[in-house]
Structure 1
Amino acid sequence: MLDNILNLADWVVYGVRESAEGYQFTWAYPAITLCPGGHAEDQLPRFGRKEPLFLDLPMHGKRVALLVDRRRYRCKVCGKTF
């Protein structure tokens, strides 16, 4: 059930917390292989992460929060951060 409960293609759920108030799902997207400039993965060192929290429609009468584990990268070739 938790493999892709919200039908988001390519996203992976790796954590669920349930409380009396609601559910919190932690999601991640597979690693990036190209920068926007088209440079290869070996030129993309990690540059931190952001974990924005999104609220979705209720499920089973409880609030639903989506915590996205979003990796950030900086291309060694073009210098873009994404």
Structure 2
Amino acid sequence: MALYITDECINCDVCEPECPNAAISPGEEIYVIDPERCTECVGHYDTPQCQSVCPVDCIPKDPDRVESHEMLLAKYTRLMAEPQG
């Protein structure tokens, strides 16, 4: 599953720099997570880093985007193959 940020977000800015996939960015009102880039930190860490630093616990799994560990790992592999720059 990709993660998402609920409207309980207080825009504290601690999650964005923690994301190893650059999946988190400022939205119109709150931060947002790009589900095409979110691997729940699979390939980087054992747990989602944004969830571990969020002071208001507003980053749950998205029930509309169910992905297995293997799917998240494949997404990680695809993201790591992108040209850096």
After TM superposition, the score normalised by the length of structure 2 is 0.24
Structure with the higher helix share, 1 or 2: 2
Structure with the higher strand share, 1 or 2: 1
After TM superposition, the score normalised by the length of structure 1 is 0.24
